[in-house]
Every structure is written in C-alpha cells, then in structure tokens.
Structure 1
Amino acid sequence: MNADGRHVVVVDLGYGDAGKGTVVDRLCADGPVASVVRFNGGAQAAHNVVTPDGRHHTFAQFGSGTLHGVPTHLSRFVVVDPLALAAEAEQLNAIGVPDPFELLTVDAEAPLCTPWHVAANRLRELGRGASRHGSCGMGVGETTAYALRHADAPRAGDTLAPARLRARLAAVRDRLTDELGDLGGPSVDEVVSVFRTFGAIVSVVDGPATRRRLLGSGRCVFEGAQGVLLDEWFGWHPYTTWSTTTFENAETLLAEAGHGARRLGVVRTYTTRHGVGPLVTEDPALTAALPDRHNGNGPWQGPFRVGHFDAVAHRYAVEVVGGVDALAVTHLDAPGRAPELAVCSAYLVDGARLDRLAPGQRGDLAYQERLTALLGRARPARLDRPARWAATIGALLAAPVLMESYGPSTADKRIWGRTLASAA
C-alpha cells in the first residue's frame, strides 16, 4: 500500500444521486490529478457537474474531472457503450473540451454494451409489469449478465480485431434474439463499423500496465457509480443493480498496482432514490419542497423520490463497506429551503425500535430479500432537526466530514484542510 494515501476512492453511501460527480470535480480542482479511474457501472451513470461560469455536463462514462483536463481511465469493471460514449464526447466538445477522446483510456478487458443488450434490458423490464425492479434502460446489467454466461462476450480489445469482433457481436444478437424474439436495431455490420471506429480513435490499453503508470505518476481519484444501498449483493434485493457499488473494485485495482487509497463516502442532507424499492423516510412533501433540476422522473428509472436523512440505512452502508475515512456531505443548502427536513436515527418495525440493520453474507440474496420485506414494514421512530447538519451527520455515521457542499458548482464546496490527502 502506498504510504502517502494520496489516492482517493469516492463512493455513494445511499441509493445514488448523492453528488459523486460534483465531489470528484472539486477534488480535481484541488491540485494535480493524474487520472479519474471509473470502477463500476457504465453509461447509466448521471454525475452532474456545474462550473462557476455556468457550464453543465452530466457525466456518464467520462470521469467528472474532465472539465479540469483530467484524463479518464475506464477499468475492466466498467461496461463500455461506444455509441453512448460518442454522444457524450460531442456534448463535452460543445461546452469547451476540444478532443475528449484524447483524455480517455479503456481497459481492453472492459465488456462492451451493444444495442441488442439495451433492447433486451428494456424488454425484460417491461415484461415484469407491476413487479419491475427498477432500471435505467441502458443495458448495463444485461451486458454484465451476458458476460457472466458467455466467455466470448465482446470486450473493448475486440474492437482492434475485426473478425473476432464481428463473430462476437453476431453471437450477442443471435443468442438474445433466440431468447427474446426480434430485438430490432441496427445490423451487425453497422455495429461492427461503429465499434471499429471506436477502437481506432480511443486508446484501448493493457489495464494493469496503464494503472501502474497512472498510480505511480500522481494522485488518482476513483469515481464510483450508483450507491451502496443498490449494491448487487448488499442492496435491498431485488431492487438492486448488476454492479458492485462498494469500495471493493477500486481497492482490487489499487492492490494490483501495490497502492492504497483513502475512502470518501458521499451523502446528501436528505435521502433520495430513483424508482421502486424501499425508502423508509420518504415524504411526498419533501419531494415537492426539494425538486432537483438534474434528477427527475424517467420512463425507465421511474419517479425521483425524497425522504428525510436516513441514518439507519446510511450506517448500514458504512458498515457494509467496512468503514470510511471521511465524508462529503452535499446539499447543505437544502435545510434552508425545507424547514420540515429532519434526520431519522431509528425505525419502528412491528412495534419494536430498530437502530441498526445487520449486514448479511456476500451472496446471500435470501437474507437481502428479508431485509427488503422488513424495510417495507418500517417507519421512522422519530425525526429530529439538527442545528448543525454536517456535524450531526458525521457523528451519526462515525466519520469526519472533510467536504461540505452548499450548491452545485465547484465554488460551492469547502474542504477542511488544504486537500483531502493532506488531511490524512
């Protein structure tokens, strides 16, 4: 493990949408950063960054340090969608990033999301009817599931081998069509052409060698996607993601290169989630009082829901990940707009008070289903409004608050200590 602790891993301790992008953006403004490394998820990420001069971008696959000129590395744990990546590059170019692809390296082992994965994802979710699990409809989970079933799943490195690429893309289309029926979309030849272009203009690299170089050359920020409460093994099954949303993937990548990092957990002053699944502290009045211009109702994710700060659920997330070194608390301006906003530190479940959710064993989805059922019966035992929000949240989660965010832009952040690393 590196001695200076200069690298930082950023993970959302909720259901996503806590502000990972704006936190990473601020860290990248705080001095030289060698790279932002993405370590889970894919094009479904929606990390909003607003600059002091008013530019806005919703980062999906590019890292949230891009507007500072910080390169992005997509690790083997990221599902890469070349079509969505091209669209995002155009958006970045339009707000002043001259050539976003020059700032990008992609691990050759990263799985590729195709139009047929996206179509299959949407068909499956529609087929669940009233029992929908919640999905972004971007094919990320479908791509992951396919890669687990098939050793010949297309990878980023295949874009440099035309014959292998074509065979693997045709296999995706044929297998998913045989299973689900006609998926529509472009022909195999059209997708091959686009993916070969991707391989020609993007630096597809040997992942381990690239990470050793990046981690040895300066500070790296590892940017997570989604949130711990959606984790594939520790979230409220089945309302989860096909992704490990804890620190695990990032720490695997770091350990492979002989490095360590500080763990930064991100929470809002209120708890939110997109779509179906437990949200014990949900309050429709808060949803109305705290509209989020960067998060709304979507045809696939469903409604954007708001609740009081759920210390029980966030403490569970901290316990699941094995603790955090520090917290970034965002939306500290929200309590001033919502005088009814409060903190829930315990539940009532079947008449009994509960202040801790015990994590289960990795892979025990039956246990996670039982937790989901329990949360369906839970209600806040008590709601208290703190005088000092950041300090209260830090005390409830047993971690120091090293970043406070009072608005959407880089200028709205405070870091206690010159940099996160120097506060170690």
Structure 2
Amino acid sequence: MRNTSALIVGAQFGDEGKGKIVDSLVQDEDFDCVVRYNGGNNAGHTIVSDGQTYPLHLIPSGILHPHVTNVIGAGVVVDPAGLVQELATLTERGVDCKNLFISDRAHLVMPWHKVIDAHLGGKIGTTARGIGPCYEDRASRRGLRVGELVDENNTVDKEHFGARFREVGAHKNELIQKLYGLEPLDLEKELAEIFHLAETFKDRVCDTSELLYQIKTEGKRVLFEGAQGCLLDLDWGSYPYVTSSTVTFSGCLSGSGSAHIPERRIGIVKAYSTRVGEGPYLGELGDYETIKVQDVAKKGEPLPPLSDDEKQKALNGDDLLMGRWIRRAGREYGTTTGRPRRCGWLDLVAVKHAVQVSGLTEVALTKLDILVDIPKIKLITAYKDGDKTLTTFPSRINQLARCQPVYEDFEGFGEVKNAKSFPELPRAAQNFIRRIESYLGIPARIISVGPERSHHLVQEETHVAG
C-alpha cells in the first residue's frame, strides 16, 4: 500500500471522520503533502491528538505535522475572516502554520455572499456561511479570487481589488436592497476589513498547481482531502439537497490543479449514518423537526447518556430514542454549526453509489465504537419503492423520498477500543464488517475503534480484493 498518492473522500453525507483518517495516514504512512480540494468553511473536520481536540474548517488536516506541506486548492472557496480566525486559533495552541499554502485561483467568500445565504439558504439547510452564493458567482464569472486580493509579489493589491470589490459590491447592494428588502452593506468598511485580514495570509498565496507539480516531480507522496460527502455532490448527490462543489474523485483533479490520479481512493464510511440539513434520508431514526427542538446541545454542556429505561424503549422500537442514543454516544453535533445531526442506520445502497462514482478502492470504517453495547444493529441493503426493490441510489429526489429502507439485522457487540488487529474484534463486529465489505465489493482496510489518533487498526489481508 506504499503508493505515491491517495484520495480521502466522504462516502456518505459528510461528517464521516475524514480528518482523523487523514491525520493518521499522514503520521503512519509518511505523506509529504495534504491538499484540500473543495468546499469552504462550511466543512468541519475534527482531529483528536494527545487528548486535545482540533476542529478544522478550511485548513487541511495535515496541519498538525510541521514537515507536511498543506495546500488549499483552487476548488475551495476561502472566507478571509474564517481563515484568519482558524490560523489564530491554531497558532495560540502551538501549531506552526508556516507549512500552509493557498491557491491564487481560489475564490473568496465576500460579505454579500453571507447576507444572501442567510436570507435564502434556510430552505435546504445551508450553514449560511456564503458558500453556495460564492460558487454561484464563480460559475457566472462574477467572483473575486485570492490572486486579485494578493498580487504576484505577495502584496495586498488595494488598487485592483478595491476597484473590483466596489464594482461587484454596488451590484450586490442593489440586489440586497431591491430584491431582498435588506439593509445594504457598508462597502468601504467591509473592504478595509478585508485588506486588514489579507495582511495575515498574503505570504501563503501562490500558484499551488505549480507547487504540486514540483512536489510530484520530486517523488513525494500527496494526500488529497475532500470535504463533505459524495451524497452531497452537486451532480451525484441527493440534488437539490446538496453542497455547491464537486466532492467526488473528479473534484480532486479540478479542485487541486493536479492531473495525477491517486492510486488509493479511500471512502470514509461511518458505522452508522448522519445527515445535517434538509432532504430525504433513508434509515433516519426519529422525526427531524422534533430533533431540531429537543436535541439541541448548549455550548460547553455535554448531554447525558440515555437512561436504562430510555434505552429499553429504544430497543422496543422508539426510533427517536434510538437516534438520540447514537447521537449522544457519537457526539453528533456539527463541528461548524453546532446543529444536532440526523442519525440513522448505515445505508449500503447509498455508500455503494459513492464507491461507483468515485472509483473507490477501499473504505475506512469509522466510529465502530459508538455502536458498542447496542444489542441489535442494522444495515440498509435495499430500498422498496412500492412493489419494486431497488439496489441503486435514485437520481430523482421525489423517488428517493418515497422509498422505504430494507434492513438486515445484526447482533450487537461489546468493547472494541483495545483491538489492535481484526481477529481481536468481537466476532459480531467482524460479521458486521464482513457484510459491509461483501456488499460494497471493496475491503475495509482501516477500522477506527475510538476517537484518538492511535485508535484504529489496519487490515493488510481481507477476503475482498481491493
């Protein structure tokens, strides 16, 4: 498995634990570079190292390793304020971020993008961080890029960027006022703030495509890190309840500016499933509208585990309580938004769709430990649409919404955190994993059994070729 490059992509709806796997691979397999190729600071990757938790949003997950080059590619949209805040937080905690580079071709999230997103984005459950409107402007050729803010000499280009900002901003203010009935932005105030922020990251801006070419020419190993998940991909996800970027393998090439095809393509799969925001979600445990009201966690106040009585009700068929059991055990609240995630059983139909559209060669199974001590667990292996049985993920959102999941039941299992190899896992856990592998047709080479960097095991040999 000592290939020269690898792709990490979420094979569900995001929040699969990609950050931990990237961090572990960088440490265990000596990758020299990590490239983030899509999304913005609507993404959230969490790394736990030496008992410390590092939530990342824009910055690649290799940043904790000083010898690793970290690249924000052209396919990412960069919020200047979010980037500077993330840099400051990491620096305060002793992380030297001098190994970070930002593509001059990446687009900038502007103040009007956030205003418009907050006003319009609620219907599909966006994070209101301006990501969708920024990608819209990129596609319609009205966007502003990092290379316009910071010139080829790594100087803040106040003349050029100021003129472009005022031109586009005047049009956006007219839209904000006349179409949406909102207060206009103070453009000069916003512009001054952006110039101030740019002074923090100007020296990190470069032609990252050229940088990656040189890295590959030197024979160094590159890890491509995707944000969100394949089921949120603009083309191949549950449209229109999707993100605004290309999440899948094809996005890795266009978003990084590297034509090198990663030999290992690893899909990150949680042992159950979660989703944030609106849209059909097969296997969901509990009503989402109820969850949004009853399962909100106050900042800094962890929710208690379920009582024995609540657990018994969950086992007797109370889906809301079963979802709450998994949510609290897995701390399933958005890294970026803090919203309670919708929880459900692992949907293998959807994951196989991700395997196919990204050409995945293996999966990394995460959060197996969250299912510990649940006596009966389930996998979705087909959908029922009336009297039809489906084993492929529907492209039509109305068809997906009317489908019902077909389950296979599995015996639960006990503690897995101390397992260092596959045979050391409980037999029931082995059976659960083997069924996932046989259904997907690719091996689960990495199995995460706990939150720490060290809590994972690697299968060198499996019964499924990959």
- Match status 1:381 vs 2:418: no
Paired residues of 1:270 and 1:341 also in contact (CA < 8 A): no
Matches of 1:267 and 1:183, distance apart in 2: 43
CA contact (8 A) 1:344 1:381 kept: yes
> 1:178: how far off?
1.3
Q: Which amino acid aligns with 1:123?
A: H
Q: 2:75 aligns with which of 74, 77, 88?
A: 77
Q: Judge conservation of contact 2:208–2:257 (CA < 8 Å) in 1.
A: no
Aligned to 1:166: 162
Q: How does 1:17-56 map to 2 (within 5 A)?
A: 17-51=15-49, 53-56=50-53
Larger Rg belongs to: 2
- One-letter code aligned to 2:440: L
Evaluate the alpha carbon distance shift between residue 20 and residue 256 of structure 1 in structure 2; reply closer, same or farther with a 3 A threshold. closer
Alpha-carbon RMSD: 2.5
Matches within 5 A, 1:5-404: 5-51=3-49, 53-69=50-66, 70-97=68-95, 99-100=96-97, 102-126=98-122, 132-151=123-142, 153-160=143-150, 161-181=157-177, 182-184=183-185, 187-200=189-202, 202-217=203-218, 218-252=220-254, 256-258=258-260, 260-283=262-285, 284-291=320-327, 295-296=332-333, 303-321=340-358, 323-357=359-393, 368=395, 371-385=396-410, 387=428, 388-404=431-447
Structure 1 residues 300, 94: CA separation in 2 closer, same or farther (over 3 Å shift)? closer
Alignment deviations for residues 56-97 of structure 1 (CA, whole Å, 9 cap, x no partner): 111111111211222310111011112101111122123221
Alpha carbons of structure 1 residues 95 and 256: separation in structure 2 relative to 1, 3 Å: closer
Give the aligned partner of residue 364 of structure 1: none
* Amino acid in the other structure paired with 1:375: L
Per-residue deviation, residues 106-150 of structure 1 (Å, max 9, x unmatched): 111110112221111111124xxxxx1120111111111012223
Letter in 1 for 2:54: H
Deviation of 1:357 (Å): 2.6
Q: CA deviation at 1:278?
A: 1.1
1:361-385 superposed Cα distances (whole Å, 9 cap, x missing partner): xxxxxxx4xx211121111223321
Task: Sort the Cα spacing of 1:173 and 1:255 in 2 relative to 1 into closer, same or farther, 3 A.
Answer: closer
In 2 relative to 1, CA 49–234 (structure 1 residues): closer, same or farther, beyond 3 Å?
same
Taking structure 2 as the reference length, the TM-score comes to 0.79
Partners of 1:162 and 1:16 lie apart in 2 by 37
Percent identity, aligned pairs only, is 29
Do the aligned partners of residues 253 and 331 (structure 1) sit closer, same or farther apart at CA in structure 2, a change above 3 Å counting? same
Aligned length: 396
> Per-residue deviation at 1:258?
4.6
Contact 2:378 2:409 (C-alpha < 8 Å) held by counterparts: yes
Shift of 1:189: 3.3
TM-score of the pair, normalised by structure 1: 0.87
Q: Distance in 1 between matches of 2:172 and 2:119?
A: 11
In 2 relative to 1, CA 214–253 (structure 1 residues): closer, same or farther, beyond 3 Å? Answer: farther
Query: Is 1:411 aligned with 2:454?
Result: yes
Gaps of 5+ in 2: 151-156, 178-182, 286-319, 412-427
Q: Which amino acid aligns with 2:52?
A: R
* Change in CA separation of 1:345 and 1:170 when aligned onto 2, cut-off 3 Å: same
Give the CA deviation at 1:41. 0.3
Do the aligned residues in 1 keep the contact of 2:63 with 2:100 (CA within 8 Å)? no
- 1:144-167 CA-to-partner distances (Å, cap 9, x unmatched) read 10122235x211111222211112
- Residue in 2 aligned with 1:362? none
Q: Is 1:290–1:337's contact at 8 Å kept on the other side of the alignment?
A: no
| Contact 1:134-1:300 at 8 Å conserved across structures | no
Report SS of the residue matched to 2:77: coil
1:214 Cα offset (Å)? 2.2
Seen in structure 2, the aligned counterparts of structure 1 residues 14 and 350 have a Cα distance that, compared at 3 Å, is same
Letter of the 2:272 partner, please give it. Answer: Y
Q: Structure 1 pair 340/190, CA: closer, same or farther in 2 (3 Å)?
A: farther
User: 2: CA distance between counterparts of 1:193 and 1:138?
Assistant: 20
Q: Whole-Å Cα distance in 2 between the matches of residues 244 and 301 of structure 1?
A: 24
- Larger mean CA deviation between 104-113 and 114-123 belongs to 114-123
